[in-house]
């Protein structure tokens, strides 16, 4: 009977058309809100890279102070990722995702009044506290709404918000630094923080009003559409139920630490590109703030297209690991190549940034879709934020290391070479370490079948 039912849904039956319509409706109602919030989350955490062009001079910050402040965001992110995801499990996605978005929006508004290093450090840490649960929360939310390749495609679109955030930062930041500097006695970088934070607060209110927790609570779906989505999710589930797994056994699970190592390498490269790309472009000769902003925006738009393209080709479950490794290899090439060209060629610098943004975007997207399939049912709720929290230490270490190296040597080259090596190590972990996890998982999944025969 189950096979007949599935065949009916997979064919050209009325239920098949109704399921496609239900998913299309969900995509149009959920994706724009989450895309916008993820874009604004990255605006909040990354616009400090553009503000740096004025801020460190106005406040007399060293490169090390800037790197520490940029990185402290990730300490809050690491400490509060799991607790926030537990709150989502208890109170639902709508309340938690919207609530923390409003919190980081108000914290970003407060960045307008920064006038010393301790305040800068405190607000960056608090920003990380609020943002900590959003990304792992959305990973779980998508897992509750979309199945298979549809989830991978939608998640790649969602994740592109991080790249489009830099478009927003580049265009709005360049305008604020150049044209709002001195308005009402405030520096341009303060206006940039203020104007880029207010949309987050507004969209958080929209999310609270419109986001449903689960398909069964979506009032804009008919009862039959809700049932079809839930049946499709169950039929295409890529995870299995745990047998005796709890939080303690999860900490002893090699898969969690191998995946954390791979994600650490991905995030180290991401932090290097996002926190230092405006500075790289200025040193490459991209003129004033407007030109730098336009170059950042263009590189990220092209990178977002590359991200979606790579994920569309490599989104099938059996391809995700290899294409994640390929995307990571592109990023390693970008980081190492930038060291050679950013003082000599503006065109090469721009193209390598495009490659880097595409590689980091696709790598992270495919990583999470791969990880969801490797973590078991009960492990998923704790495993996702645990991996995210452990790996996000890279976001703290990377800008601090690069800033320190710059103060010590007068160049960013050594820092970027080290991050490129870390990313190359990530390729090795993805190709061999994660393959070992997959092989072990396959053997475990075969045991029930062997015992049944």
Give 36-94 pLDDT, tens digit per residue.
Answer: 999 889 888 878 887 888 888 888 888 889 888 888 888 888 888 878 888 888 888 88
CA atoms of 213 and 352, how far apart (whole Å): 40
Burial of residue 452 (CB within 10 Å: 0-12, 13-18, 19+) is exposed
Residue 448 falls inside a structural domain: no
Range with the poorest average pLDDT among 126-130, 133-137, 147-151, 348-352: 147-151
Question: In the predicted model, what is the mean pLDDT of residues 114-131?
Answer: 93
Say if CB 365 and CB 152 are below 8 A apart: yes
**Highest-scoring range by mean pLDDT, 338-342, 355-359, 378-382, 398-402:** 355-359
Q: Does residue 248 surpass a pLDDT of 70?
A: no
**How would residue 377 be classed by pLDDT, with cut points 50, 70 and 90?**
low
Tokens standing for residue 375:
């973590």
| Residue numbers of the domain that contains 92 | 11-227+248-443
Number of domains composing the chain: 1
CA atoms of 100 and 330, how far apart (whole Å): 33
Question: In the predicted model, what is the mean pLDDT of residues 358-376?
Answer: 83
> What is the reported pLDDT for 130?
93
Residue 453 falls inside a structural domain: no
Q: Does residue 126 surpass a pLDDT of 90?
A: yes
**How would residue 400 be classed by pLDDT, with cut points 50, 70 and 90?**
confident
Question: In the predicted model, what is the mean pLDDT of residues 19-44?
Answer: 88
> What is the reported pLDDT for 44?
85
> What is the reported pLDDT for 443?
59
Range with the poorest average pLDDT among 132-146, 162-176, 268-282, 347-361: 162-176
Burial of residue 90 (CB within 10 Å: 0-12, 13-18, 19+) is exposed
Residue 243 falls inside a structural domain: no
Which pTM value belongs to this model? 0.72
What are 415-441's pLDDT values in tens digits? 899 999 999 999 999 999 888 877 776
Range with the poorest average pLDDT among 39-48, 205-214, 356-365, 419-428: 39-48
> What is the reported pLDDT for 264?
94
- In the chain, pLDDT over 70 holds for what percent of residues? 88
Burial of residue 371 (CB within 10 Å: 0-12, 13-18, 19+) is buried
Residue 235 falls inside a structural domain: no
Q: Does residue 217 surpass a pLDDT of 60?
A: yes
Q: Does residue 7 surpass a pLDDT of 80?
A: no
Secondary structure of 211-276 in HEC code, one letter for each residue: CCCCHHHCCCCCHHHHHHHHHHHHHCCCCCCCCCCCHHHHHCCHHHHHHHHHHHHHHHHHHHHHHH
**Which CATH number characterizes residue 395's domain?**
1.20.1250.20
Question: In the predicted model, what is the mean pLDDT of residues 312-329?
Answer: 89
**How would residue 3 be classed by pLDDT, with cut points 50, 70 and 90?**
very low
Residue 388 falls inside a structural domain: yes
> What is the reported pLDDT for 125?
95
CA atoms of 194 and 86, how far apart (whole Å): 31
Q: What angle do CA 327, 302, 370 make, to 5 degrees?
A: 30
Residue 237 falls inside a structural domain: no
Residue 291 neighbours by CB under 8 Å, 6+ apart: 174
Secondary structure of the chain in HEC code, one letter for each residue: CHHHHHHHHHCCCHHHHHHHHHHHHHHHHHHHHHHHHHHHHHHHHHHHHHHHHHHHHHCCCCHHHHHHHHHHHHHHHHHHHHHHHHHHHHHCHHHHHHHHHHHHHHHHHHHHHCCCHHHHHHHHHHHHHHHCCHHHHHHHHHHCCCCHHHHHHHHHHHHHHHHHHHHHHHHHHHHHHHHCCCHHHCCHHHHHHHHHHHHHHHHHHHHHHHCCCCHHHCCCCCHHHHHHHHHHHHHCCCCCCCCCCCHHHHHCCHHHHHHHHHHHHHHHHHHHHHHHHHHHHHHCCCCCHHHHHHHHHHHHHHHHHHHHHHHHHHCCCCCHHHHHHHHHHHHHHHHHHHHHHCCCCHHHHHHHHHHHHHHHHHHHHHHHHHHHHHCCHHHHHHHHHHHHHHHCHHHHHHHHHHHHHHHHHCCCHHHHHHHHHHHHHHHHHHHHHHHHHHHHHHHHHHHHHHHHC
Say if CB 204 and CB 102 are below 8 A apart: yes
Q: Average pLDDT of the chain? A: 82
> What is the reported pLDDT for 71?
84
> What is the reported pLDDT for 240?
41
Gap between the terminal Cα atoms of the chain: 23
- In the chain, pLDDT over 90 holds for what percent of residues? 25
Question: In the predicted model, what is the mean pLDDT of residues 291-303?
Answer: 84
Residue 236 falls inside a structural domain: no
Tell which wins on pLDDT, 439 or 2. Answer: 439
Tokens standing for residue 28:
């149009």
Any idea of the CA torsion for 408, 270, 130, 46, to the nearest 10 degrees?
A: 70
Q: What angle do CA 182, 186, 188 make, to 5 degrees?
A: 70
Tell which wins on pLDDT, 308 or 419. Answer: 419
Residue 450 falls inside a structural domain: no
**Highest-scoring range by mean pLDDT, 59-63, 335-339, 376-380:** 335-339
Tell which wins on pLDDT, 249 or 229. Answer: 229
């Amino acid at each position: 009977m189950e096979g007949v039912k599935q065949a009916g849904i997979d064919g050209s039956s009325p239920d098949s058309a109704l399921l496609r319509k239900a998913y299309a409706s969900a995509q149009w109602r959920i994706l724009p809100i989450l895309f916008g919030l993820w874009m604004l989350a990255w605006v909040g955490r990354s616009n400090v890279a553009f503000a740096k062009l004025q801020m460190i001079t106005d406040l007399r910050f060293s490169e090390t102070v800037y790197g520490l402040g940029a990185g402290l965001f990730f300490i809050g992110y690491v400490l509060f990722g799991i607790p926030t995801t537990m709150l989502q499990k208890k109170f639902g996605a709508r309340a938690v995702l919207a609530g923390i978005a409003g919190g980081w929006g108000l914290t970003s508004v407060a960045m307008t009044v920064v006038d010393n290093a301790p305040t800068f450090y405190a607000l960056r840490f608090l920003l990380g506290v609020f943002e900590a649960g959003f990304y792992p929360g959305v990973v779980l939310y998508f897992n509750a709404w979309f199945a298979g390749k549809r989830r991978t495609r939608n998640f790649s679109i969602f994740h592109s918000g991080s790249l489009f955030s830099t478009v927003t930062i580049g265009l709005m930041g360049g305008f604020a630094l150049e044209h709002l500097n001195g308005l009402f006695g405030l520096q341009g970088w303060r206006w940039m923080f203020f104007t880029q934070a207010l949309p987050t607060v507004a969209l958080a209110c929209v999310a609270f009003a419109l986001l449903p927790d689960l398909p069964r609570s979506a009032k804009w779906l008919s009862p039959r559409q809700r049932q079809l989505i839930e049946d499709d999710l169950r039929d295409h589930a890529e995870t299995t139920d745990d047998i005796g797994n709890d939080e303690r056994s999860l900490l002893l699970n090699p898969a969690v630490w191998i995946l954390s190592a791979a994600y650490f390498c991905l995030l180290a490269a991401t932090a290097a590109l996002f926190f230092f790309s405006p500075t790289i472009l200025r040193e490459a000769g991209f003129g004033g703030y407007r030109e730098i902003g336009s170059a950042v925006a263009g590189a990220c738009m092209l990178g977002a297209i590359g991200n979606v393209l790579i994920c569309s080709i490599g989104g099938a479950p059996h391809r995700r690991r290899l294409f994640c490794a390929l995307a990571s290899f592109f990023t390693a090439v970008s980081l190492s190549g930038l060291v050679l060209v950013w003082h000599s060629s503006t065109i090469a610098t721009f193209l390598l940034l495009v490659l880097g943004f595409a590689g980091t975007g696709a790598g992270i997207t495919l990583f999470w879709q791969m990880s969801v399939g490797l973590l078991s049912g009960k492990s998923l709720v704790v495993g996702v934020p645990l991996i995210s929290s452990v790996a996000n230490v890279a976001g703290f270490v990377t800008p601090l290391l690069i800033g320190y190296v710059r103060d010590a040597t007068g160049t960013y080259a050594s820092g970027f070479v080290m991050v490129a090596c870390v990313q190359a190590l990530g390729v090795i972990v993805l190709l061999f370490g994660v393959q070992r996890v997959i092989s072990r998982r396959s053997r475990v999944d075969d045991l029930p079948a062997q015992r049944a025969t």
